[in-house]
């Protein structure tokens, strides 16, 4: 596997792409088959979303109840708005999870983990994400590191690359 980091300075934002020369549908099926009882377990993910919903509700109530000075009021309003948007997204996602297909579940979980999966013009799978603070591979996140390890060890014949680019 080639890991390329180009033009990345310490502590800068960065985007990263894992490209695998295999069609997306095939890759997603392989991923689910390998991780269905761990990373892509539907019931565990449903519990995670339920827990996140409760945490968001508590955080929203705390933000509403906090008395802040005038200089922090606008920041508090922005934060509250973001949290309300996240709560609405999670509440809309939860009912869909019980009937979602395995392939769609993988895509939903990757999105939840901050990763986008798509098929590029060469029919290769691309998984991309970003970080606001890049120092090393740890900043790519646990799911991306898991996918890199999976591709490198479980798909040794599939050509792939991981690229990081300064933003």
Question: Which is it for strands 116-119 and 2-6: parallel, antiparallel or unpaired?
Answer: unpaired
pLDDT for position 68: 66
User: How many residues are there in the chain?
Assistant: 167
pLDDT for position 139: 81
For residue 4, the SS3 value is strand
pLDDT for position 51: 97
Instruction: Give how far the C-alpha of residue 37 lies from the chain's centroid of Cα atoms, to the nearest Å.
Output: 18
Retrieve residue 150's tokens: 């999976």
Rounded CA Rg of the chain: 19
Residues of the chain with pLDDT under 70: 1-11, 66, 68-71, 166-167
- Region class of 101: left (phi > 0), else alpha (psi between -120 and 50), else beta: beta
pLDDT for position 158: 75
pLDDT for position 96: 93
Instruction: Give how far the C-alpha of residue 57 lies from the chain's centroid of Cα atoms, to the nearest Å.
Output: 22
Retrieve residue 19's tokens: 């490209």
| C-alpha triplet 21, 23, 26: angle, nearest 5° | 115
pLDDT for position 91: 97
């Amino acid at each position: 596997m080639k890991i390329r980091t180009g033009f990345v300075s310490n502590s800068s934002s960065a985007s990263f792409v894992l490209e695998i020369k295999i069609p997306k549908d095939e890759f997603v099926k392989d991923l689910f088959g390998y991780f269905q009882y761990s990373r892509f377990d539907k019931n565990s993910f449903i519990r995670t979303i339920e827990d996140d919903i409760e945490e968001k509700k508590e955080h929203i109530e705390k933000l509403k109840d906090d008395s802040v000075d005038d200089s922090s009021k606008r920041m508090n309003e922005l934060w509250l708005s973001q949290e309300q948007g996240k709560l609405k997204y999670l509440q809309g996602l939860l009912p869909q999870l019980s009937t979602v297909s395995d392939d769609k579940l993988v895509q939903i979980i990757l999105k939840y983990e901050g990763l986008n999966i798509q098929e590029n013009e060469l029919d290769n799978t691309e998984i991309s994400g970003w970080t606001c603070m890049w120092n090393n591979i740890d900043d790519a996140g646990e799911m991306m590191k898991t996918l890199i390890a999976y591709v490198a060890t479980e798909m040794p014949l599939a050509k792939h690359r991981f690229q990081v680019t300064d933003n």
